[in-house]
Structure 1
């Protein structure tokens, strides 16, 4: 990684402000034209409290960490990430503990709704947090870890259900969940500072943006005349609320996700999420019945079969993260150091193969009662595709519309959740009507058709982004200048 002093000089040609900055829509210079050094994007300030200046270890620890998101995301954009994490996890923990003791159906239903309301915030806030603390050229591999952990969590839950819960009262799952959520809640309260950070008004950047040539002279002048920011103390970092981050109204930020879906790249990313994660929902909604009928598997055997899903997710981390970053960087070098968000899309070609293959292996394997390893490999490949494909498409749209990363992520994940919710109801009747082979064969064809769109987006996505941004209807979702984040 380039050092800050060299990077300050290298960044001169990449600085854009005001309307110019908003017009880039993801197109930025990532490598210096002469030295080929990586230009840190967004540009870190000289403030030690800037999350971009955190240690790499602390950044990764942050990465480890439904409908309610239409409230959580605007609140996080308006008031900061930390208060939303704390409030949402408090609700999550309270609901999980409640469900241990609740015996009535009505109370249990209300508890489950609150559980989803509280837990849903983390799914959308995590990608925003990653974008807050990691540079553009680092996001792929970190986001891959996040998407992999989401997938592994589902598989690990099935494994626990098969090996532990089956021999204990059903409430044990909420006891385990409560303990885990309580641990995460304490980590958030005690170790998780605010990650939203404003870099507007940095004197050095303003001087450079006005065309000043002697950057070293101005750096020395600025550093000698401006008090050096002091790093916040541990207790100061525990402060829940710091300041209002934007003048945009909560209403506009709440309805923006409904308009963002009209952007072609966001719509495509939503469909990719749907045909990977959504079809995993289709598999898990009847996997117990399928393995029981075809192979006579009991719960603990089914749980062990999901080890393949965990392995597939782990393999998907480098395939969706480092591979995507490497391919994007290779195209960036060939493009004279200018990065387009579309440059990471060729990596998704792997999932174009593994996603339909996974669904065919599962459907045909169960239908024909082939060896149990056949559909089990399908489970592994499908979870590989979740980590690989969903990571690439999500990073792609975040890079394209970084200032509204929260709204974009909410749109993509919300669309996926709706699709998965519908599949959870209709998969079993569909399978009963046409059989596993035809049902999952159709899913394979749909998935291949959606993923194939990476090709036209790679060639014409940049032009399409700028054309659609000028649509009159899209103008209503344009962001204000105080939402800018330096890229």
Structure 2
């Protein structure tokens, strides 16, 4: 009997070690439709196929920033008029969430993503063929609207198919593809604009090809993941605390809490299904939920963190051409694009730290707090990297103002880009775990208003830098980014109380 119990305990510890010492949360159901029971390979394929929607959206949206001088000459427009091709695309990228998410809740996330990427492909073909500035502006607005589907739907797919101990790591794929595209797009566009005969038009054709590939990948690799999961009470994991670094789960109801019974899913069943209609959903009520969720303090915190982090990074992308093409740098278009390598390095480090490392930190906090599990534990993971982005803002402020060596600017750009991934990924994961049954609606609120915050900065970015100077602009950004980090402190202590009781269209959370 003792031997059997010992073997069972060993088996439990070995299973728990694979997910940072925690049981599987939320618990998989016995329903064969439960996406938590999908094979691991299918989960990863679905994540990659859907997350690349965000990459294409921002790749197409940000790439034309390096073509601003060419567009000004071609259409005889001022820098601010050409800038509207970028800023309004970005604004509609947020507003479009208000349409695509209710569609995804009512008719399925798969249908919403397929329709949006197909529209995006058609609009990008139109963009490449357009010869009038007014038509080009209209196409850019519509492409931003079509691109919006992935912004809120993809993070909710992460919570549909992955467990708590995987959330930040898997969410980091979403965040890095959203953010890195704003660097990779201008990098690729800079070479195409400088060396391709078709210039910026050829770049748009590349974006159209990516949108077409997105549509095909989603159709073949992503099954519908909407699932009405039973509501669970707050979790408690029993642990020992003799050695905080080596603590193990020692008590659990059954070994099944550490293992999932995988259900195979045929490819044919995926390919023959597009719409999954939920007749109990009132689409108008779903459309109003994001406005209600915006009143929740945790959603406001994530919006502020994401909006300020994103604005501090994208202002540089928009203002780089006017800085680096002029003396003393005299960069070519391709050299301006190569500055994005610094951002890609920052994104990569931020992805690892804000994803996998954040999951480990959260698991350690849970085990040290006697096994209690609550969303505010996520915020502790902000501590290791919270100073990087504010320090990057200071470096950018003085490096650009005093025309220091381009290496100093690149280093600051990388630090700011790190913050664009690191803090928002943790903040989004925190909100997702606060309100798991209304994830998409929360993310709509976050994406609409963080894009609005960023739009307000970006719409005036070029003129603001020209009139006020780099020092003033980036010291203000330093203040805002630092404030967003400091606000996480009261949320750690009072967040459970502030979350309160939410009752939205028959969907309740605690």
Q: TM-score, normalised by structure 2?
A: 0.78
Report the CA distance shift for 1:423/1:354 in structure 2 as closer, same or farther (over 3 A): same
Matches within 5 A, 1:318-467: 318-466=352-500
Partner SS state of residue 215, structure 2: helix
Question: Which runs of 5 or more structure 1 residues have no equivalent in the other structure?
Answer: 1-5, 11-30, 203-214, 217-227, 470-474
Partner SS state of residue 405, structure 2: coil
Partner SS state of residue 448, structure 2: helix
Distance 1:260 1:201 in 2: 19
Aligned to 1:19: none
Aligned to 2:330: 296
Partner SS state of residue 46, structure 1: coil
Q: Any conservation in 2 of the 1:291–1:366 contact (CA below 8 Å)?
A: no
Distance 1:56 1:375 in 2: 41
Distance 1:187 1:397 in 2: 28
Matches within 5 A, 1:10-409: 38-64=22-48, 65=51, 66-168=94-196, 169=198, 170-200=200-230, 231-241=264-274, 243-245=276-278, 247-293=280-326, 294-409=328-443
| Offset from partner CA, 1:9-51 (integer Å, 9 cap, x none) | x9xxxxxxxxxxxxxxxxxxxx99xxx9632222223344432
Q: Any conservation in 2 of the 1:324–1:345 contact (CA below 8 Å)?
A: no
| Offset from partner CA, 1:344-399 (integer Å, 9 cap, x none) | 21221244311111111112101111111111111111111111101000000010
How many residue pairs were aligned? 424
Q: Any conservation in 2 of the 1:51–1:132 contact (CA below 8 Å)?
A: yes
Q: Any conservation in 1 of the 2:102–2:287 contact (CA below 8 Å)?
A: yes
| Offset from partner CA, 1:306-351 (integer Å, 9 cap, x none) | 1010011011112101221111111111222221111121221244
| Offset from partner CA, 1:161-185 (integer Å, 9 cap, x none) | 2222222222011110111111111
Q: Any conservation in 2 of the 1:98–1:111 contact (CA below 8 Å)?
A: yes
Distance 2:362 2:386 in 1: 18
Distance 2:424 2:229 in 1: 30
Distance 1:435 1:184 in 2: 40
| Runs of 4 or more above 6 Å deviation | none
Aligned to 2:82: none
Distance 1:251 1:162 in 2: 43
| Offset from partner CA, 1:386-434 (integer Å, 9 cap, x none) | 1110100000001001111001111111111111111112122222222
Report the CA distance shift for 1:48/1:171 in structure 2 as closer, same or farther (over 3 A): same
Report the CA distance shift for 1:298/1:178 in structure 2 as closer, same or farther (over 3 A): same
Aligned to 2:68: none
Stretch deviating more after TM superposition (103-112 or 397-406): 103-112
Q: Any conservation in 2 of the 1:60–1:142 contact (CA below 8 Å)?
A: no
Partner SS state of residue 151, structure 1: helix
Shift of 1:233: 3.2
| Offset from partner CA, 1:54-105 (integer Å, 9 cap, x none) | 2223222322232221111111112211111111111011111121212223
Aligned to 1:224: none
| Offset from partner CA, 1:261-292 (integer Å, 9 cap, x none) | 21111101100011101222221121111122
Partner SS state of residue 195, structure 1: coil
Report the CA distance shift for 1:229/1:52 in structure 2 as closer, same or farther (over 3 A): closer
Partner SS state of residue 286, structure 1: helix
Q: TM-score, normalised by structure 1?
A: 0.81
Distance 1:229 1:147 in 2: 28
Shift of 1:190: 1.9
Distance 1:104 1:240 in 2: 40
Q: Any conservation in 1 of the 2:346–2:417 contact (CA below 8 Å)?
A: yes
Distance 2:296 2:262 in 1: 40
Distance 2:284 2:312 in 1: 33
